[in-house]
Structure 1
Amino acid sequence: MSISAQASPLAPSPNGGRQLTATLRREDAAEERAGLSPHDRISCPVHRRWLYQCVSSPAHAIRVTGHRWCRECDAAAAVAVDELTGAVVVTCSRCLRVPDSAANRQLLRACRASVVAARQARHHRQPWETRLAG
């Protein structure tokens, strides 16, 4: 798959069903037209996944804004997601503390909402989508 096809808002997501594709498109439009912050998205336009599925990628550690970052240690933070409970924890990879900042709280909210949205999408799948995804 080419990079341009992967980044296209019109390309369906290879990693999810219709709900994920619809969420990606809706958030793309809201970001462009309505001023949605890219940090409030529950879908990832880079990886074309629910945010919680790729938040551990180095692309989501942003030193400048403090997202997935420990400012005390100047290090990227790790993210652990429990899909069953919806729990999301950010922990510094150096000091092993929770880097409490507005940016990391925003990331936690978006990840938790992403887990809920993915759960709802799985619940609303059509029988043929479940067979294809499984």
Structure 2
Amino acid sequence: MTRRTQVDPDIPDKPAAAEPCYECPFRTTNEHKQISFEVEGVNEFARIWWDISREGQTYGCHMAQRVCAGSVNMIVNELAKLRSYGTWDQYHEENPLGLAPELIGPFLAKFSGRDKGKIPVADPQSVIMRILEARQEGAA
């Protein structure tokens, strides 16, 4: 699940495609990668979601020099979820692993009007809860 290795830091990533690629680790069809892939004992999905939801970073596609469509579509889904709750407090109560309040404005400005796509992507709250459950089962 790591970012592609052949990246020219002087060339900015192109905007995300409309849909995530077949191998995108954020597609629901690739859930096994989300739950099991670790780097130095840290789940890679959880680390990347932290970078997105708390630091405001976007993730680069592992296949092309562009922003990852799967990660952007997860952000768009979270923004839609937030709107469905009405207030950030209601959203945060049900989704404590969701987007940080200071990132709502920048993400809305950046991704407003973007369609969430037809290919389902991961719900970070659900995936991270499954990661924690798997770790507890492994420790028992």
Please indicate the TM-score interval, normalised by the length of the shorter structure: 0.3 to 0.5
**Quick one: higher RCO (CA 8 Å, sep 6+), 1 or 2?**
2
> Taking structure 2 as the reference length, what is the TM-score of the superposition?
0.33
> Taking structure 1 as the reference length, what is the TM-score of the superposition?
0.34
Structure with the bigger percentage of strand: 1
